[in-house]
């Protein structure tokens, strides 16, 4: 099979919820059905967006205003979507992104105190996704304490260092993003958002994720007959 159109999945959720683990499994699986699979992470995956990533995640950056942060994350997103993701989709590639605009909403617009300006964020998100939007936003839902425990003892980046109460507010904000009728459903369409219980083993999370991805491929009419469903 050669894919008739591209397919763009974003995997999001609190630090340590399992995004990188599941993105790797998803990419390997999609390689069975797409000639090109692109694995990207936000912020980053272009030279300028990686510079913004270092700035945003380095503890040396210190405190930033939440709206400034939201706009910097959105600028990195615009750069990645415009220069890398949209052209890949036009070639018929499958794109798997670790994080997306839902992160900026949860961390900067809800969990930060004071929060980022939501109107500026929504305008910047519209700009970032002017030419491509995720076909599926998979939100990995785990209690913040479990996610923090999974991260273990590695050095924390500037945002992870904000602590477990902040992470709990972030996790709650993601649940709002997943709620039907919210603005994310307005942006992507109600069937494009999947909340996945990510508290089980990596294998059980992967089975749930794969089922939702297959369902979405079906709904969009993307052929995926060579992708194993069992
Ligand atoms: N379902 C799971 N159960 C237990 N441990 C897991 C599970 N999924 C991933 N892990 C482990 O938890 C840690 C964090 O997982 P991973 O790096 O995939 O999360 P992440 O969401 O990408 O984190 P970050 O936000 O830091 O990038 C890793 O050590 C990983 O091996
Ligand atoms: Mg990761």
Q: What does the pLDDT profile of the chain (230 residues) look like in tens digits?
A: 444 589 999 999 999 999 999 999 999 999 999 999 999 999 999 999 999 999 999 999 999 999 999 999 999 999 999 999 999 999 999 999 999 999 999 999 999 999 999 999 999 999 999 999 999 999 999 999 999 999 887 899 999 999 999 999 999 999 999 888 888 998 999 899 999 999 999 999 999 999 999 999 999 998 766 787 76
Q: Whose CA is nearest to atom 8 of ligand 1?
A: 18
Angle at 42 between CA 221 and CA 133, to 5 degrees: 30
Top mutation candidate among 20, 140, 154 for ligand 1, by most atoms within 8 Å of CB:
20
pLDDT score at 3? 43
pLDDT score at 2? 46
Options 3.30.70.141, 3.40.50.300, 3.40.720.10, 1.10.10.10; CATH for 7-220 is 3.40.50.300
Going by the DSSP 8-state scheme, the letter that residue 134 receives in this structure is -
Q: Whose CA is nearest to atom 10 of ligand 1?
A: 18
Q: How many CA atoms lie within 13 A of 26 on its CB side?
A: 30
pLDDT score at 227? 83
Calculate how far, in angstroms, residue 39's C-alpha sits from the geometric centre of ligand 2: 12
pLDDT score at 1? 42
Q: Which of 60, 28, 34, 12 is nearest to 217 (CA)?
A: 34
| Helix residue spans in the chain (DSSP H) | 19-30, 47-57, 66-80, 86-90, 101-104, 118-128, 144-151, 164-178, 183-188, 202-220
pTM, to two decimals: 0.96
Calculate how far, in angstroms, residue 1's C-alpha sits from the geometric centre of ligand 2: 31
Tell me the helices (H) and strands (E) count for the chain, helix number first.
10, 5
The position carrying tokens 């939501």 is: 118
Q: Which of 85, 76, 98 is nearest to 11 (CA)?
A: 98
Q: Which of 11, 5, 27, 42 is nearest to 128 (CA)?
A: 42
Q: Mark the residues whose beta carbon lies below 5 A from ion ligand 2.
A: 19-20
Ligand 1 neighbours by CB, cut-off 6 Å? 15-21, 150-151, 201-202, 205
């Amino acid at each position: 099979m050669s894919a008739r159109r591209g397919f763009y999945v974003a995997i999001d959720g609190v630090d340590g919820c399992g995004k990188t683990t599941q993105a790797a499994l998803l990419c390997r699986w999609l390689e069975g059905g797409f000639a090109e699979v692109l694995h990207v992470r936000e912020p980053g995956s272009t030279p300028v967006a990686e510079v913004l990533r270092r700035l945003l995640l380095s503890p040396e950056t210190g405190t930033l205003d939440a709206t400034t942060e939201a706009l910097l994350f959105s600028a990195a997103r615009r750069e990645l979507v415009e220069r890398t993701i949209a052209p890949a989709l036009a070639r018929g590639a499958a794109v798997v992104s670790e994080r997306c605009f839902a992160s900026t909403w949860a961390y900067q617009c809800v969990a930060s105190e004071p929060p980022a300006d939501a109107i500026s964020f929504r305008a910047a998100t519209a700009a970032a996704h002017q030419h491509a939007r995720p076909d599926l936003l998979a939100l990995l839902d785990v209690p913040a304490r479990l996610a923090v425990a999974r991260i273990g003892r590695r050095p924390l980046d500037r945002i992870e260092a904000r602590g477990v109460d902040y992470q709990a507010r972030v996790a709650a904000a993601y649940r709002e993003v997943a709620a039907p009728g919210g603005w994310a459903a307005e942006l992507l369409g109600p069937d494009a958002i999947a909340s996945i219980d990510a508290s089980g083993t990596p294998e059980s999370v992967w089975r749930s994720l794969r089922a939702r991805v297959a369902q979405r491929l079906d709904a969009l009419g993307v052929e995926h007959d060579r992708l194993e469903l069992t």
